[in-house]
Amino acid sequence: MKISGFSFVRNGFDYGVPFLESIQSVLPACDEFIIVVGNSDDGTREAIEQLHSPKIKIIDTVWDMSLKTGGKIFAQQTNIGLDALTGDWCFHIQADEVIHENDSSKIMNAIKTENANKKVEGFILPYYHFWGGYNYIRNTRRIHKHEVRIFRNGLGVRSYRDSQGFRKFKSIEGYNNGIDTGEKLTVKKIDAPIFHYNGIRPPSSFRKKAELMGSFYKSEAEVAKELDERKYDWDNVDRVIEFKGSHPALMQPLVNAQDWEYVYNPAKAVWKTKDKLIQPIEDVLGFKFGEYKNYKLIK
């Protein structure tokens, strides 16, 4: 049984994502790791090379910016990595996601246990969505609680939408022309959380990151207008709670280096009207109404 990890990145330093920590966090569970590196000018590729891991294979690409709309470029880059995998199982990690070292063996054992059970096509992992600083996580109905990150190779799986998740398709042609919307994977859950650090960065680069990411979904004018109207900052969030667990050891230098302070202010929280009404009910019931699930969970 062989496990292949894969990811993509472009200008990782400029985007302020822990891509080096992300790659290293999954290496213990993988026999190979494919990293698709877009044309970067901030030293991203060189830094990956300096990891000096025999497991890592770099695929160089040039991003087709005509695919920016809707985040299509992210799905394309993900599929390039997926097509290069040689393992029996595929383990996807994004450049702002990190696995805790305590969970590597748990992940490998789960895959090994279900390897012969063809009914299990993949696994979902839970998420910690960090916000503002390393001591807060967002915990409202607006965030995705689980996502497919591990699946069998050879099922016709492609990146779904903007690379958030995966589905299996009958043909590449059907996937490319949009006729085939894909079939959800049948999965089990592994209690090994993804540490998602997308919402953490110094105040000086917060708006820059928002502009960069927003440009992959909207025009520059639309992004600028939206950011000006919302006065984009840490307070533009619904709710966060204190994180009381431990960060992956790979992330500890970054955690220790945090030189800004973020304190959640409920008085400045930004809620959608529907969410503000429903959230208290869901908190009591422990159930999310109308939760989007891009998978079929085996209980």
Position 219, amino acid? S
What percent of the chain stands above pLDDT 90? 72
pLDDT at 169: 95
Whether the CB-CB separation of 100 and 128 falls below 8 Å is answered with no
How far apart are the C-alpha atoms of 129 and 40, rounded to whole Å? 26
**Residue whose tokens read 């919307």:** 181
Choose among 152, 127, 149, 150: nearest CA to 140: 127
Residue 267 CB neighbour total at 10 angstroms: 5
Quote the Cα angle for 284-288-290, to 5°. Answer: 145
Whether the CB-CB separation of 180 and 167 falls below 8 Å is answered with no
Residue 273 CB neighbour total at 10 angstroms: 7
Quote the Cα angle for 255-29-97, to 5°. Answer: 35
Q: What is the 8-class DSSP label of residue 184?
A: P
3-class DSSP assignment, residue 140: coil
Q: What is the 8-class DSSP label of residue 249?
A: G
pTM of the predicted structure, to 2 decimals: 0.91
- When computed from its CA atoms, the radius of gyration of the chain, rounded to whole angstroms, is 19
Largest distance between two CA atoms of the chain: 54
**Residue whose tokens read 């607006």:** 142
What percent of the chain stands above pLDDT 70? 88
- Give how far Cα 184 sits from Cα of 75, 129, 156, 169, 170, Å: 16, 24, 12, 9, 12
How far apart are the C-alpha atoms of 90 and 82, rounded to whole Å? 8
pLDDT at 82: 97
Query: How does residue 60 score in pLDDT terms, banded at 50, 70 and 90?
Result: very high
pLDDT at 65: 80
Instruction: State both tokens at 187.
Output: 């999965």
Whether the CB-CB separation of 125 and 146 falls below 8 Å is answered with yes
pLDDT at 212: 60
pLDDT at 230: 52
- Of the two residues 189 and 291, the one the predictor is more confident about is 189
How far apart are the C-alpha atoms of 177 and 157, rounded to whole Å? 15
pLDDT digits (tens, 9 = 90+) for 182-208: 999 999 999 999 999 988 877 666 666
Whether the CB-CB separation of 180 and 154 falls below 8 Å is answered with no
pLDDT digits (tens, 9 = 90+) for 89-120: 999 999 999 999 999 999 999 999 999 999 99
pLDDT at 15: 85
7, pLDDT greater than 80: yes
Quote the Cα angle for 182-106-142, to 5°. Answer: 50
Q: Which domains does the chain have, with CATH numbers?
A: 3-198 (3.90.550.10)
How far apart are the C-alpha atoms of 209 and 227, rounded to whole Å? 11
pLDDT at 14: 87
Q: Which residues of 136-148 are buried (b: 16+ CB within 10 A; e: fewer)?
A: bbbbbbeeeebbb
pLDDT digits (tens, 9 = 90+) for 216-248: 555 666 666 655 555 556 788 999 999 999 999
Whether the CB-CB separation of 260 and 202 falls below 8 Å is answered with yes
- Of the two residues 207 and 255, the one the predictor is more confident about is 255
Instruction: Report strand pairing: 32-38 vs 122-131.
Output: unpaired
